[in-house]
Amino acid sequence: MISILLSLFSVMLGVGIISPLLPVIAENLQATGVWIGLIFASFSISRVLSLPLFGYLADKFSRKKIFSTGLILYTIIAILYAFSQTKEELLLVRILHGTSSAMVIPIAMAQVATISNKNELGKNLGIVNSSIFLGMAFGPLIGGVFADKFGYSSAFFAMSAFSALSFLIALLKFPEGNVVKRREKKRIRITKSVFTAVIYRILSSMGRGSVMSFLPIYLSAIGMSLTQIGAVLFANLISSSLIQMRSGILTDKYGFVKPVWFGSFIGAVSLFLIVRVENYFEVLFLSILLGVSTAITLPAVSSLVAHEGVKLSLEGSYMGVLSASKSIGRAIGPVISGIIYDLAGGGVFGVRLIFEVAAILTIFAALIYKRGVELDEVI
């Protein structure tokens, strides 16, 4: 499991490097709000279209080969970012990036679900999510500093280097095998509890997608540097990462519902307030609070889906479906946010309106999850 954690940390460190830069670069390329939304959404669209295939292949063939191939693509695509000169080229690179991402995270989570026993599933998936967020946390901070000191291109080359490191770790240490062998072909079934979790992830991801796509624009508009923007994103993700190391235990102790309900409420309040303050330390505090909310909810939802997948020997497919639901939300959310941004006339007011909608979606998602997750009939 250590090799999986190290690989995910390294690759997400590379991915996180571009987080504070991409919205600002897109705006510098004279992209409208809709174009900014499309650039972010294209990653998720290509990812969601690829996930069912790679989830199926993960259950049927070698997870190590798929995982390693995805990391090789990450390494190449990172360099392509540095040479993108138009918003159309940036869009194409994001599509390729999304496809390769479908080969990495759900495969790793499926492997962890396979090797974990029921009593430690929430804890182990919390640790996996923690490694993902830890890499994503340090990435924006490094990316902001690199961009301010050495220019945008240096950040993308650093991203490529970390992806290459991830590939080497996976090549040497990622466990081969653990593929479930079935005696007969089974139709993939989705239980009602998993279906509810998927709906929750779609709605909450629609709201949370506005953070990475439009929060940097707001922070830039109120005068923050790329280093400061990176630090705000770092605070959000590092708090989520550190707390997820323990929050998975809350799921094991209190079940799948209470952590999601509590965390979603904190998230909605944070989303509403973060674009209404301009003091750097107030933004930092609310960013941390938003990270805490994610840390509380994510292990519960992941554990629910993984638990159902293990029962039916469909870990890879179910984790692929969960990742797909996040991608669907992240695909729809930025586009809707871009439309709202343009209709509102852009600027600070446009971003604030986006975050109001995000807060409402978060509460609505929690209500649906709370009502439906206990139902466990097969549909």
- pLDDT single digits (tens) 27-67: 788 888 888 888 888 887 887 788 778 877 777 777 788 88
Residues of the chain with pLDDT > 70, as a percent, come to 91
The verdict on domain 2-176+189-372 having CATH code 1.10.10.10 is no
- The residues near 352 (Cβ < 8 Å, ≥ 6 apart) are 218, 275, 276
pLDDT at 379: 43
Mean pLDDT of all residues in 191-197: 83
pLDDT, one tens digit per residue, over 167-184 is 888 787 776 654 554 444
In angstroms, the CA 107 to CA 179 distance is 11
| Best CA proximity match to 106, nearest among 302, 317, 320 | 320
Q: Which pTM was predicted?
A: 0.75
Distance CA 378, CA 376 (A): 6
Q: Which of 6-15, 50-59, 241-250, 337-346 has the highest mean pLDDT?
A: 337-346
List all residues 6 or more positions away from 251 whose beta carbon is below 8 Å from its beta carbon: 122, 126, 259, 299, 300, 303
At 176 the pLDDT is: 60
Tell me what pLDDT residue 159 has: 82
Cα–Cα nearest to 17, from 226, 240, 249, 322:
226
Residue 378 pLDDT class (50, 70, 90 cuts):
very low
Residue 108 has pLDDT above 50, yes or no: yes
| Rounded CA separation 266/268 (Å) | 6
Decide: residue 220, CB within 10 A, 0-12 exposed, 13-18 middle, 19+ buried.
middle
- The residues pairing with 48 across neighbouring beta strands, listed in sequence order, are none
CA of residue 151 relative to chain centroid, distance = 26
